[in-house]
Structure 1
Amino acid sequence: SEVFTTFKQEMEKMTKKIKKLEKETTMYRSRWESSNKALLEMAEEKTLRDKELEGLQVKIQRLEKLCRALQT
């Protein structure tokens, strides 16, 4: 009977630990998913900004060329 009681107590402790770990796992998974989503959004935004930068650099080059042409 004592062995059974001890076993039952150990099982209850383990059940509590498992539930706690499952909650932590869910929390960390949720954090990872939101971080991953934010990372993907930032990468997409960086791509857009890089394209915008390229276009603006081309415009600057054209304007500089035009300025040089007008100065001569």
Structure 2
Amino acid sequence: MQKHRTKKPTKKQMILEHLLSGRTLTQLECTNLYHCTRLSSAIHELRKAGHDIETIKCKNTESDGTHGKYRYIGVAS
């Protein structure tokens, strides 16, 4: 008798669910929450799949420069 295993969501699915919930996501948050160090790659794939995701540039608080924060807009038309 085989046991039914529920599939663990992929990191890309977890990122999409996070954004769909109305929350924003930065690389640091993504690493801490989902152990994913390739957020920009996941965002690129989600955009290719038709999701409209905005990149918000934010100033770093601890150093010079900026970082990206992502926000879900909707399904691209």
TM-score (norm 1): 0.20
Which fold has the larger relative contact order, with Cα–Cα distance below 8 Å and residues 6 or more apart in sequence? Answer: 2
Higher helix share: 1
> Which of 1 and 2 has greater Rg?
1
Higher strand share: 2
TM-score (norm 2): 0.20
